[in-house]
Amino acid sequence: MTLINIGISIFIGIITFTIFSIYYLQFRFIYLSWVPINSRTHVERPDAYQIPYEEVTLFTPDGVSLHAYLIIHNDLCPTLIYFHANAGNMGHRLPIVKRLYYDVQCNVLIFSYRGYGHSTGFPSEKGIKIDSLTVLNYVHQHPVFSKTPIIAYGQSLGGAIAIQSVSACQDKYSALIVENTFLSIPRLILDTMPYMYLIKGLFHQYWSSEKLISSITNIPILFLSGKKDEVVPFDHMYSLYQLSTTKKILKIFEDGKHNDTVIQPGYFETISSFLKQNHLY
């Protein structure tokens, strides 16, 4: 083999390895279940935050077990299905659950997606769609939750999951609340890292909220947006709001960043007001 042939072989090998890595490592960098350290082994419990709860395991049709907490008031309160953001597990969201339970007066079901926390399996768009449907079916069979208005509440990636779930099962929800959510994974990548344009054909995780949001026509939507979001450009949330064709509210938190919009003044009051305006109490 000549030096030229050796060089060509090495070059092809490098290109092949790079393409393989980009294609398969998307799962790891989109679904940050491994961040922070110990997120797959340690999941905080609600009693650490003085929240009464029931711990359950739900089983998906494809054999995955989902770890979930049920936080229940009674059948007079609306029920939030909490779709969390892409890093950590449901335990990291318990301070938010505490506010939703005590201040907003909601029942809450929060769960870790497949491959997150103590849930089994490996995260993917296809798999998490199965997870969301499994949870929704469980809620509609629950003796308390089934008697209440059901609201999808999602943050960041969780907002995209919530939008997908509502668009697929609109008749099973009473409202949708999304915070700092992107138009789609490819749009987010290209808007924040334009040089990735050359490999956009390798993207295979989509979560295309921009294509689904207009199909939600029968229930109200609350958009909660941090104006200073440094991860998801504000334009993404504003565009989702504009694309929406149903009854809707956009609440902008001028100082809100990606991870602290939830602690901005008036955040939980905005949710309470939205629920009251739509007669969900």
For 219-248, how does the pLDDT look when each residue is reduced to its tens digit (9 = 90+)?
A: 999 999 999 999 999 999 999 999 999 999
Q: Which of 104, 105, 229 is nearest to 155 (CA)?
A: 229
119: DSSP letter: -
CB distance 7 to 1 below 8 Å: no
* Residue 156 is a catalytic residue: yes
Output the CA–CA distances (angstroms, integers) from residue 207 to 2, 73, 156, 163, in the order listed. 47, 32, 11, 9
Of the candidates 119, 124, 229, 236, the residue annotated as catalytic is 229
User: pLDDT, tens digit, for every residue of 162-218?
Assistant: 999 999 999 999 999 999 999 999 999 898 888 767 667 778 899 999 999 999 999
Q: Is 142 a residue of the active site? A: no
Domain coverage including residue 142: 3-277
- Is 140 marked active-site? no
Q: What does pTM read for this prediction?
A: 0.93
How many domains does the chain contain in total?
1
In the set 156, 165, 184, 209, the catalytic residue is 156
Q: Which of 239, 258, 260, 273 is catalytic?
A: 258
CATH of the domain at 158: 3.40.50.1820
